[in-house]
């Protein structure tokens, strides 16, 4: 009866996953979400036609696409993954005449804050119930220092941006590592007077810097600081989006647990600011190899081959935390299946994602009998037996997919509730997971 009541609270949105012993084969996961967002945005303000292949046709990326169309950017969609963006130029965006709904995408909302800060029209950014609870002041503060008129609702969306403001450059030291904050400042810096500089306390994703360079923008780099001179114009280019390593992460862990004959993931993006998942799994003893390395538009990719290994618990190095911040839900599953104890600290950022991922993952691990200690900035997980049970993902796509991977070591079936948001980042997850060997169904 308790399970029935739980299921009714999330009607039509659950996974049922039976225990499975093996995964394998060859897979291509969807395109990189971070790169897809940025390709649309920069293509939208560039001069000329930008061709995008490998685009991620997820709800998050479609929110960015819809917002640009609402501001007058013509976008042709030749197929689900191939687009042409007819750039409007730096000053060619038009007043949208409606609020811009970012759905579940914190990346889209925060980057648009920077992109729209210097536009001549007012704009309002909103999102779904989850996004409307997420913090936006850490982006708004540096943008206000540049002269932007930005208001939030006690720190959260809706975000209202006043048009017609003149921006001036700032030197900003990020209080905590954040690629989204860095990117928003750099995008605002394109329209600011002077050279805007951002200094990071630790390396974060550099997709924005790489893509700006691909669109012809000159950046200044010195150590942990990147600078951008205002007034530069973007020139259209071609963008080939590699497979998303954050999506590949679920199958990397699945392979490390159960790919006894190997599992190959094709053309995965291996940008060094995103490969913390590979480094952490390597320290845990995972057998992962890279083959067929190549590069397109400044973004490296490779085929990844993973084989089943006996994982061991580790203390995760602090320098790797910002390089694997989105992959920790499934890394916690790896820790639960490893020999010994895994400890994570310095990961406060996980508390302000789509959910409080530390708390929600701890809740789910507890329901599966995994011993753990939750801390303010991390977690301690004791590897061992994983039981079956019912998990509430609280609408967080990465948590839903992570617990699906736990079925490879679970002693009984898993019921994972509130999974509709998986489509925000990984359309087609269920059929792809089944093709690899997971016994998963959705109803």
Q: Are residues 303 and 413 in the same domain?
A: yes
What is the pLDDT, as a whole number, of residue 296? 84
Q: Looking at the predicted structure, is the pLDDT value of residue 10 above 90?
A: no
Domain range spanning residue 144?
A: 33-240
Q: Looking at the predicted structure, is the pLDDT value of residue 176 above 80?
A: yes
Q: Are residues 8 and 121 in the same domain?
A: no
- pLDDT tens-digit series, residues 28-68: 999 999 999 999 999 999 999 999 999 999 999 999 999 99
Confidence of residue 156 (pLDDT cuts 50, 70, 90): very high
What is the pLDDT, as a whole number, of residue 297? 79
Q: Are residues 273 and 226 in the same domain?
A: no
Is 396 an active-site residue? no
What is the mean pLDDT of the segment spanning 268-283?
97
- pLDDT tens-digit series, residues 111-140: 999 999 999 999 999 999 999 999 999 999
- pLDDT tens-digit series, residues 353-380: 999 999 999 999 999 999 999 999 999 9
- Distance between CA 349 and CA 302 in Å, rounded? 28
Domain boundary among 240, 273, 296: 240
Q: Are residues 45 and 97 in the same domain?
A: yes
What is the mean pLDDT of the segment spanning 331-339?
98
What is the pLDDT, as a whole number, of residue 298? 84
What percent of the chain clears pLDDT 70, i.e. is strictly above it?
97
Confidence of residue 352 (pLDDT cuts 50, 70, 90): very high
Q: Are residues 8 and 157 in the same domain?
A: no
- Distance between CA 158 and CA 164 in Å, rounded? 19
- Distance between CA 20 and CA 24 in Å, rounded? 12
Q: Are residues 68 and 78 in the same domain?
A: yes
Length of the chain: 443
Domain boundary among 240, 257, 284: 240
State the catalytic residue, choosing from 32, 60, 206, 326: 326
Q: How many domains does the chain have?
A: 2
Q: Are residues 414 and 426 in the same domain?
A: yes
């Amino acid at each position: 009866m308790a399970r029935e009541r739980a299921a009714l609270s999330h009607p039509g949105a659950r996974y049922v996953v039976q225990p499975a012993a093996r995964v394998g084969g060859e897979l291509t996961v969807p395109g990189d979400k971070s790169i897809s967002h940025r390709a649309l945005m920069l293509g939208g303000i560039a001069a000329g036609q930008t061709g995008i292949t490998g685009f991620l046709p997820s709800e998050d990326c479609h929110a960015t696409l819809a917002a640009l169309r609402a501001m007058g950017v013509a976008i042709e969609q030749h197929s689900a993954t191939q687009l042409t963006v007819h750039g409007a130029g730096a000053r060619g965006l038009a007043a949208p005449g409606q609020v811009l709904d970012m759905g579940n995408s914190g990346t889209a909302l925060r980057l648009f804050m920077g992109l729209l800060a210097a536009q001549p029209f007012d704009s309002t950014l909103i999102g779904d119930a989850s996004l409307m609870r997420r913090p936006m002041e850490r982006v708004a503060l540096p943008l206000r220092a540049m002269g932007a008129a930005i208001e939030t609702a006690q720190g959260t969306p809706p975000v209202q941006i006043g048009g017609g403001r003149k921006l001036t450059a700032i030197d900003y030291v990020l209080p905590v590592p954040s690629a989204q904050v860095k990117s928003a400042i750099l995008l605002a810096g394109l329209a600011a007077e002077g050279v805007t500089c951002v200094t990071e306390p630790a390396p974060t994703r550099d997709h924005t810097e790489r893509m700006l360079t691909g669109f012809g923008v000159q950046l200044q780099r010195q150590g942990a600081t990147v600078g951008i001179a205002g007034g530069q114009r973007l020139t259209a280019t071609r963008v080939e989006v590699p497979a998303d390593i954050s999506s590949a992460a679920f199958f990397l862990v699945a392979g490390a647990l159960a790919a006894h004959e190997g599992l190959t993931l094709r053309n995965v993006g291996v940008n060094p600011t995103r490969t913390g998942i590979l480094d952490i799994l390597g320290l845990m003893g995972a057998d992962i190899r890279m083959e067929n390395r190549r590069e397109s538009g400044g973004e490296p990719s490779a085929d990844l081959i993973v084989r089943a290994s006996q994982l061991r618990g580790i203390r995760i190095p602090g320098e790797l935390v910002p390089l694997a911040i989105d992959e920790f839900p499934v890394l916690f599953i790896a820790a639960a299946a490893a020999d010994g104890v895994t400890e994570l600290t310095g990961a406060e950022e996980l508390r302000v994602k789509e959910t409080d991922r530390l708390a929600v993952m701890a809740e789910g691990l507890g329901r599966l009998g995994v011993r753990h200690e939750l801390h303010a900035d991390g977690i301690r997980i004791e590897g061992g037996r994983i039981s079956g049970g019912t998990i509430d993902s609280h609408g967080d796509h990465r948590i839903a997919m992570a617990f699906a991977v736990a079925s490879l070591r679970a002693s009984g079936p898993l019921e994972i509730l509130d999974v509709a948001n998986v489509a925000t980042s990984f359309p087609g997850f269920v059929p792809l997971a089944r093709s690899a060997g997971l016994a998963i169904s959705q109803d």
